[in-house]
Chains A and B, each alone.
Chain A
C-alpha cells in the first residue's frame, strides 16, 4: 500500500570539529584526498621554487635486454627505496587511522610495491605489447592466480586496499585533466551515463521482478549494474534494507562481470580499432567498478601508438573513462540510494525493519574523492594558466604533470594487483540462476547501449578527446 512520502530533513549534526574530522578521516576517501592533494601541493611548491618531484617519481624506462633493466634498477635503487618510503608512510598513516595494524600493512605493502615494480618494468620491455603483457592485465592475472591457487592470509588485507589505492590514483589523475576538459566533456558524460544508467537499472529491475526476485534484491542488483558496482550495490542495499545474503549475491555478480569485462572491453575495442577516447567512454559506460574500469582503460591506453589503426593518444582513454565513470555515474550514488529508499518505504512490502529516508544521506554517501579529483584539476589548471603554451610544454608538463602522472600509475598498479589478490572466487556467494539472468540481461543491454552511444551518438565527440 502506498504511503505518503516522508523523508527526514536533518539539521546539521552537532558534534564539533572532532566529529567532522572523524567523518572525513575515518574514511578512505578523506585519506585519498589528503594524500593525492598533498602530493599535488608538494609538486606545485617544488615547481614554483624551480625544482621538481621528478627525482622521487621514479619509474622503469624502456629496455630491451635483461642486463639493461638490471642496470636501471641498480642505478636508481635509492630513488625506489625513497618512493617506497613515501607510499608506505602516506598509505600507512591512513591505514592506521582506519583501524588497521601498521605492522601488518608494511610487510604486505612491501610485497605489493616490489611486485608492482616488476610488473611496471615488464610493461616497459620493448617486446611487451607483442606478447600482450599490458601491466594492468598482468597485475590482475598474477593476483588472481596467487589468490585462488595458493590463497592470501587474512592479515594481509591491511596492505591490499583496492579502493584506497584507486581513489588516491584518481585524485592524482585530476592533475592531468584540465578543468576546461571537465567542463567540455562533463555534460556529455553525464547525459550519456544518465541514459545508460536508467536503461540498465530498468532492465535488471524489470527482469528481476519478472523472474520473481525480491524487489530489494532487484534494486540492489540494478544499482550495482547501472551506477557504481559494489559501492552502488551496498549503498542501495542499505538504503532499502536488503537481506544480507542478497547483498552478497549482488556483490558476487558485480565482481564476476567486472572481471570478465576488464578483459572483454579492451579486447573488443582493439578488435574494432576504436579510437582511445571512444574506447575509454565505452569502458566508462559499461564497466561496473572504478578499479576494474581503470584496469581496462589503462590497458587500452597502452595500445595507443603500439597497435596500428588505433587513433588517439594514451591519455584520452583514461580521461574519457574518468569523465564517464566518475563524473557521469559515481556522483549519483547518493541520489539513487535516496530515491530507492523513498520507493522502498512507501511502495514496497514492509521488511522486519523500516527506514526513514534521510536527505542528508545523499551527501553522506557522496564519493568524496571526486572532490579531490576536481581540486587537483583546478590547482594545476590555475597554475598552468600563468604559462604560455611553449612554457607549459617545457616547464609544467615535464616538471609537474609528468611526475604526478608517474605516481598515479604506481597507485593504479597497486590497485590492479590488489584486485587480483583480494578476489577469491571460492568465497563469493552462489548467486542462483534468477539473479544471474537478471544481472546478465542488464550487462548485455548496457554493453550494446554503451557501445552505440560511445561510437555512434557521441562518437565524434569522444574521438576528438584523443587528438
Chain B
C-alpha cells in the first residue's frame, strides 16, 4: 500500500515560522495514515486517520507520543 505524507506546504509554512526542527521534518515521526491506523487499534472503527480532524498529527517512535507535526524536541533528527 502506498502512503502519501500530508504536511506538505502546511509543514513548510510552520517550519519557516518556528524553525526547521519540527516533528514533520523528523525521521522519528510517522504520520502515514495506514500506519497510524495499525498503530492505534480501533482508530479505523469509529474514526479514521484519513479525515480532517487528525490534522498532520503522527506518532513519535522515539518518545512514543502522539503529536502534532508542529511539535519540537531536542532529539530532532532530520529525515
Give chain B residues whose Cβ lies under 8 Å from the Cβ of A353.
Answer: 23, 60, 63, 65, 67, 71-73
Flag if B56 contacts A8 (CB, 8 Å). no
Give chain A residues whose Cβ lies under 8 Å from the Cβ of B9.
Answer: 13-16, 19, 23
Known contacts A27-B52, A98-B33, A229-B46; decide if A243 and B18 are in contact (CB<8 Å).
Answer: no
Flag if A244 contacts B43 (CB, 8 Å). no
Give chain B residues whose Cβ lies under 8 Å from the Cβ of A19.
Answer: 8-10
- Distance of B40 from chain A, by nearest CB (Å): 5
Closest-by-CB residue of B relative to A418 is B45
- Complex interface residues of chain B between 61 and 79 (CB less than 8 A to chain A): 63-68, 70-73, 75
Q: Within 8 Å of chain B (Cβ to Cβ): is A239? A: yes
Per-residue CB contact flags for chain A residues 175-219 toward chain B (1 = under 8 Å, else 0) read 000000000000000000000000000000000000000000000
Per-residue CB contact flags for chain A residues 330-350 toward chain B (1 = under 8 Å, else 0) read 000110010001000000000
- Complex interface residues of chain A between 229 and 243 (CB less than 8 A to chain B): 229-235, 237-239, 241-243
Closest-by-CB residue of A relative to B54 is A234
Flag if B53 contacts A367 (CB, 8 Å). yes
Give chain B residues whose Cβ lies under 8 Å from the Cβ of A334.
Answer: 53
Known contacts A251-B42, A354-B73, A364-B10; decide if A28 and B64 are in contact (CB<8 Å).
Answer: no
Give chain A residues whose Cβ lies under 8 Å from the Cβ of B39.
Answer: 244
- Complex interface residues of chain A between 254 and 299 (CB less than 8 A to chain B): 254-255, 258, 288-289, 291-292
Flag if A255 contacts B45 (CB, 8 Å). yes
Flag if A241 contacts B51 (CB, 8 Å). no
B residues contacting the other copy or chain, number (CB 8 A): 50
Closest-by-CB residue of A relative to B5 is A26
Flag if B43 contacts A364 (CB, 8 Å). no
Flag if B50 contacts A230 (CB, 8 Å). no
A338 to B25, CA, bound (A): 22
A235 to B54, CA, bound (A): 5
Contact partner of A238 among B42, B51, B55, CB < 8 A? B55
Flag if B54 contacts A238 (CB, 8 Å). yes
Contact partner of B65 among A167, A243, A333, CB < 8 A? A243
Flag if B51 contacts A367 (CB, 8 Å). yes
Contact partner of B41 among A16, A100, A292, A427, CB < 8 A? A427
A238 to B55, CA, bound (A): 9
Known contacts A29-B52, A231-B51, A231-B53; decide if A352 and B63 are in contact (CB<8 Å).
Answer: yes
Flag if A26 contacts B4 (CB, 8 Å). yes
Give chain A residues whose Cβ lies under 8 Å from the Cβ of B65.
Answer: 241-244, 351-353
Which stretch in A158-166, A373-381, A432-440, A446-454 binds the other chain?
A158-166
Flag if B68 contacts A341 (CB, 8 Å). yes
A10 to B33, CA, bound (A): 24
Most chain B CB neighbours (cut-off 10 Å) among A99, A229, A232, A419: A99
Give chain B residues whose Cβ lies under 8 Å from the Cβ of A29.
Answer: 51-52
Q: Within 8 Å of chain B (Cβ to Cβ): is A228? A: yes
Give chain A residues whose Cβ lies under 8 Å from the Cβ of B13.
Answer: 10-14
Give chain A residues whose Cβ lies under 8 Å from the Cβ of B52.
Answer: 27, 29, 364-369
Known contacts A14-B13, A22-B4, A99-B1; decide if A243 and B42 are in contact (CB<8 Å).
Answer: no
- Complex interface residues of chain A between 107 and 162 (CB less than 8 A to chain B): 157, 160-162
Flag if B46 contacts A356 (CB, 8 Å). no
Q: Within 8 Å of chain B (Cβ to Cβ): is A460? A: no
A229 to B51, CA, bound (A): 13
Flag if A13 contacts B40 (CB, 8 Å). no
Closest-by-CB residue of B relative to A15 is B9
Give chain A residues whose Cβ lies under 8 Å from the Cβ of B70.
Answer: 8, 355-356, 358, 361
A156 to B51, CA, bound (A): 19
Give chain B residues whose Cβ lies under 8 Å from the Cβ of A333.
Answer: 53
Contact partner of A243 among B3, B10, B33, B64, CB < 8 A? B64
- Distance of B33 from chain A, by nearest CB (Å): 7
Q: Within 8 Å of chain B (Cβ to Cβ): is A101? A: yes
A235 to B18, CA, bound (A): 21
Q: Within 8 Å of chain B (Cβ to Cβ): is A405? A: no
Q: Within 8 Å of chain B (Cβ to Cβ): is A428? A: yes
Per-residue CB contact flags for chain B residues 1-35 toward chain A (1 = under 8 Å, else 0) read 11110101110111001100001000000000110
Can you give 26 A-B contacts (C-beta < 8 A)?
Answer: A11-B13, A11-B17, A12-B13, A23-B8, A99-B2, A101-B1, A157-B44, A229-B46, A231-B47, A234-B40, A238-B66, A239-B68, A243-B65, A244-B39, A244-B64, A245-B64, A247-B66, A251-B42, A254-B42, A333-B53, A351-B63, A351-B65, A353-B60, A356-B18, A358-B70, A423-B46
Q: Tell me the A residues contacting B by CB distance below 8 Å.
A: 8, 10-16, 19, 22-23, 26-29, 98-101, 157, 160-164, 167, 228-235, 237-239, 241-248, 251-252, 254-255, 258, 288-289, 291-292, 333-334, 337, 341, 351-356, 358, 360-361, 364-369, 419, 422-424, 427-429
In the complex, the 7 A-B pairs of residues with the closest C-beta atoms, listed nearest first: A15-B9, A230-B47, A238-B57, A163-B48, A19-B9, A13-B13, A353-B73
